[in-house]
Structure 1
Amino acid sequence: MGKNNHEQVAQAIIESLGGKQNINNAWHCMTRLRFDIKDESLINEEAIKAMSSVMGVQNKNDQYQIIIGTDVNSYFEPLAQQLGINDNQESSSDEKKSMTAMFMDIVSGVFGPIVPAIAGAGMIKGLLAGFQALNWISADSQTVQVLDMLASGVFTFLPFFIAASAARIFKTNQYLAIAIAAAMQFPTMVDAAAAGEIDAFRVFGFIPIPVFNYSGTVIPIIITVFVLSYIYRWVDKVLPKALRTVFTPTISLFVTGLIAFVIIGPIGIHLGNGLARVIAALFEISPILAGIIVGLIRPISILTGLHHAMTPIALQNFADQGYDMLMPMMFMTNMAIAGATLAMYRKTKNQQERSVIISSALSGFLGITEPALFGVLTKYKRGLIAATIGSAVASAFISAFGVRLYGYILSSIFSLPAYIGEYFIFAVLGIVIAIVVAFISATFLSKPAK
């Protein structure tokens, strides 16, 4: 599809949403256009669904979501231009959202744009760990050192990426946000945390700055940029115009930086550690139980958009313990969804619908499950139940054997090499279980077309 066609579709979407004046804000994740709408009664949903580029729509948590697929950015760019969205634009919405809606807006908006970076680096990190486990390369080699720089750079300096992305969501200055992230990861702080000789710095002799290593952390910088957005706007509002160019960034950086060091950073560290401990406690009670619970809720969470809530937990696990056991379960869910979708092929004799089913299943194997969920399994609801069963059984299986990842990757069949090592065989068996159980469950639960 050419550029002009993308622009035409974007224009049609805006018109079907009630026009530019009815859209407070817009952003996107890996597969969906997401909108903050003023008056939902003005939406022409049938017109949107009729567009060939649209796989489905959803209205959840005060977000109107249009499922596009992996080509979503090609549509978002002309859409953003037509809406006049820019980094410093403030939302015109004065409606109060629920805490859940606000949380999902933030998580999906922050992590969506940076997924390619963390997924690419995570794939290299996973492969590197697997090759070392198989003794194919020496851990002391310069090859490993260079590849580790490529793999670990994103995760070590993750706060920089999150700061830039969060600044777009909170409509504040990206470079000030990055500056604060840089301050929190400055060698003085990192070295002090590594040495463990002091618990806190003293500013002006009496303000304590607790010492923590913020490398790879998620929650502290998100909260900090949120606070920065309000401080920056307030300072810019109260200062005379002649002083704003120099003193707005100076005061904003100073005040927000101190708040981040004294309050937000420590609280964010403890919150992140708390989330990781909750997950760890669940695994300590029973890895199988943990697998069943995560496997059961994952398909529904993707449907509702709540699946993004697991991303900060997984990233925190990588930062704290060097590995994560949640992402392999997400992998199992995707395979189960693809397996259940394939089983729906026998539910219809319509060749066009069968084509949709096959393409949606293939997309699921490649890690993009929205086409399968919204295009197929929401229609054949017993297929969705089957996918959930397959997801739970396979997740319980791999959890029982401790399958884990050492870097963030997309949950695609092509990501399997990242599991090379002692858990590889269990990951492969888990995939087989997910697909077979989901397929057989869907076959028995659903009746074939006559």
Structure 2
Amino acid sequence: MSEENKQIAQELIDAVGGLENISSVAHCATRLRIMVKDKEKIDQNRAEDIDKVKGAYYNAGQYQVIFGTGTVNRIYEQFIALGAPESTKSEQKEETKKQGNKFQQIIRTFGDIFVPIIPVLVATGLFMGLRGLVTQEEILALFGTSPDALSDNFMLYTQVLTDTAFAFLPALVAWSAFRVFGGSPVIGIVLGLMLVNPELPNAYAVGEGEADPLMFLGFIPVVGYQGSVLPAFIAGFLGAKLEKWLRQRVAESLDLILTPFLTLLIMITGALLVIGPIFSAVEAAIMAGTTFVLQLPFGLSGLLVGGLHQVIVITGVHHIFNLFEIQLLADDGMNPFNALITAGIAAQGGAALAVALKTRSKKLKALAFPSSISAFLGITEPAIFGVNLRYIKPFAMALIGGAAGGFFAALFNLEASGMAITVIPGSLLYVYDFVPLMLYVITNVIALGTAFVLTWMFGFSDKMLEEVKTE
């Protein structure tokens, strides 16, 4: 096995232009990430024809080769053994930040900030779904009880599970922003907690008219920022920059005392009196635009989002949607965006499955089958870059399937209780009631089925194998 992996590593080194064209190599859970000096020296067809390679593409300074979990570790070991210079993912990330245009760099920064906090938001969404499930009258009847019989203590316990992450969301965002922009994360946490201090009027209570904001200088409204993202993000960004600036100017003997003191004093004053009011208004405007799109009549939002989301994934700027989903959940506790993007993801899996069943190529079958399964678990890169986009038509058919599934979900206003998990795992976000769960299943069947049928009938034939090789 090691000799086989060594041969694969050597073939890949040759395909990317040899060791002299490799700046460094690292890997993540599924992909080998190669920093190349000259991307024109990469032989794409040669790389994709290598055994165990499930897809390869160049993005933002990295040549990313998909091997899959476990396999990538072994190929990486052979890569290093053959003389490729290794680097950590953080070192590659710093190098990657210099790649691409300004917009791409900004979107990558959004990803760096929001991706680390998504796991706790996923857990919160699952807690919401499970609370909805266990408090359903039909479910409780199976155990000889009813919703009225649930104790206040039990409901309080479930609220602790479901409300904590969003109640202290600014602390999570400020912590991550300080971490990304080079500040002290613990200062970010405290700054974020200050924004939701219980002594401030609760933002939700003010929004519902149950409390009044504090008025500073007679005209500046001050409230807590429970559930807000953008004010905490801006405060975290400016706070990290301020802390770094202060550390360069405060004497070392006083740094431990003065730098945190001045950073928090200046930033909480600015956050409550300037940043908060201004960027809360900006955040409200952005969400109003997002809500407008999601509420387009006749299922148009589903056609747009379900049909185009995976196109945006190819560009690598899809992390911007994390901001929208987090804010949707913070505002309303529900996320209509999840069902729409789920349709696009399921459709990519359906198209890859059609290719796997229709082709006579053993190598393509071995690539397309696991790629479709990966998509059904919510990860589409192997299906997109390894199969569908390589032959173009399957990808186009998958976009149609995503639009069809998204159209259905939008017609029925399907909403999730969380974010970040889709297709099969995503069903856990809809167990809060029987009807949404069934609508979610139908959405996936429509998306997957449409993409599968269209790809089978019009989107793929084995003639494409030779055409792609010729190109």
Same-fold status (TM-score > 0.5) = yes
Structure 2: runs of 5+ lacking an equivalent: 81-85, 141-146, 464-471
> 135-144 vs 287-296, which deviates more?
135-144
Task: Give the equivalent residue in structure 2 for 1:200.
Answer: 214
Match of 1:111 in 2: 114
For each residue in 1:63-113, what CA deviation from the matched residue of structure 2 results, as whole angstroms up to 9, or x when unmatched?
5363658859x97xx99xx757889xx968996964411221112212222
Please list the CA deviations of residues 38-84 of structure 1 after superposition, one character each: whole Å capped at 9, or x if unmatched. 96669978798799887545444x45363658859x97xx99xx757
The whole-number CA distance in structure 1 between the counterparts of 2:193 and 2:169 is 11
The residue aligned with 2:446 is 433
Q: 1:397 to 1:95 in 2, by over 3 A?
A: closer
Distance 1:390 1:223, change over 3 A: same
Query: Offset of 1:292 from its aligned partner?
Result: 0.6
Q: Which residue of 2 aligns with 1:164?
A: 175
Give the conservation status (yes or no) of the 8 Å contact 2:204–2:226. no
Residue pair 1:276, 1:313 contacting (<8 A) in 2 also: yes
For the aligned residues, what is the CA RMSD? 4.0
8 Å Cα contact 1:295-1:392 kept in structure 2? yes
Matched residue, 1:244: 255
The DSSP-based 3-state class of the residue aligned with 2:62 is strand
> 2:226 is matched with which residue?
215
CA distance in 1: counterparts of 2:218 and 2:53, whole angstroms:
54
The 2-side partners of 1:306 and 1:185 are apart by 30
Q: Which secondary structure state, in structure 2, belongs to the residue aligned with residue 210 of structure 1?
A: strand
Aligned letter for 2:103?
T
Q: Secondary structure at the match of 1:66?
A: strand
Question: 2:302·2:406 contact (CA, 8 Å) conserved in 1?
Answer: yes
Question: What is the CA distance between 1:409 and its match in structure 2?
Answer: 4.6
Aligned pair partner of 1:423 in 418, 429, 436: 436
Based on CA coordinates, which of the two structures has the bigger radius of gyration? 2
Displacement, 1:333? 1.4
- After superposition, the Cα gap between the structure-2 partners of 1:43 and 1:239, relative to the gap in structure 1 and judged at 3 Å, is farther
Determine if contact 1:296/1:389 at 8 Å carries over to the other structure. Answer: yes
Shift of 1:413: 0.6
1:449 aligned partner: 462
TM-score, normalization: structure 2? 0.78
| Whole-angstrom distance in 1 between the partners of 2:128 and 2:20 | 43
Match of 2:402 in 1: 391
Cα shift at 1:294: 0.6
Structure-1 separation of matches of 2:88 and 2:324: 34
**Cα contact 1:57–1:64 (8 A) shared by 2:** no
Question: Does the CA-based 8 Å contact 2:359-2:462 persist in structure 1?
Answer: yes
Alpha-carbon contact 1:403-1:427 (below 8 Å) kept:
yes
Judged with a 3 Å threshold, the aligned counterparts in structure 2 of structure 1 residues 429 and 42 are, in CA distance, closer, same or farther, namely closer
CA distance in 1, matches of 2:202, 2:168: 15
1:156/1:216 contact within 8 Å kept? yes
Is the 8 Å Cα contact of residues 301 and 307 (structure 1) preserved in structure 2? yes
1:29-40 to structure 2, matched below 5 A, reads: none
Worse-superposed segment, 310-319 or 407-416:
407-416
Match of 1:225 among 236, 243, 266: 236
- Over 3 Å counting, the alpha-carbon distance change for 1:145 and 1:417 in structure 2 is same
Moved more, 281-290 or 49-58: 49-58
Deviation, structure 1 residue 331: 1.4
TM-score (norm. length: structure 1) = 0.81
Classify 1:207/1:19 alpha carbon distance in 2 versus 1 (closer, same or farther; 3 Å). Answer: farther
Query: Which residue in 2 is equivalent to 1:122?
Result: 125
User: What is the one-letter code of the residue matched to 1:107?
Assistant: F
Query: Quick one: which of 277, 287, 306 aligns to 1:266?
Result: 277
1:399-449 CA-partner distances (Å, limit 9, x unpaired): 101111122251131331432323222222111111110101111223433
Q: 1:289 aligns with which of 290, 300, 305?
A: 300
Quickly say closer, same or farther: Cα 1:235–1:34, change in 2 above 3 A: farther
Shift of 1:172: 1.7
Moved more, 291-300 or 62-71: 62-71
In the superposition, relative to structure 1, how do residues 236 and 43 fare at CA in structure 2: closer, same or farther (>3 Å)?
farther
Residues 275-317 of structure 1: CA deviation (Å, up to 9, x unaligned): 2211222244415111111112111111122221111111111
Secondary structure at the aligned position of 1:383 is classed as helix
Q: Does 1:174 align with 2:185?
A: yes
- The answer to whether the 8 A contact 1:69-1:368 is kept is no
Q: Deviations over 1:137-192 (max 9, x none)?
A: 42754444323322332232222222332223212211111111011011112447
Q: Retained in 2: the 8 A contact 1:344–1:380?
A: no
2:367 paired residue among 356, 367, 375? 356
Deviation at 1:238, TM superposition (A): 2.1
1:110·1:162 contact (CA, 8 Å) conserved in 2?
yes
CA drift of 1:346 comes to 4.0
For residues 214 and 67 of structure 1, what CA distance do their matches in structure 2 show? 42
Percentage of pairs with the same residue = 24
Question: Which letter does structure 2 place at the counterpart of 1:199?
Answer: P
Instruction: Compute the displacement of 1:225 (Å).
Output: 1.4
CA distance in 1: counterparts of 2:364 and 2:97, whole angstroms:
43
Q: What is the aligned length?
A: 429
The higher-RCO structure (CA 8 Å, 6+ apart) is 1
Equivalent-residue separation in structure 1 for 2:296 and 2:401 (angstroms): 22
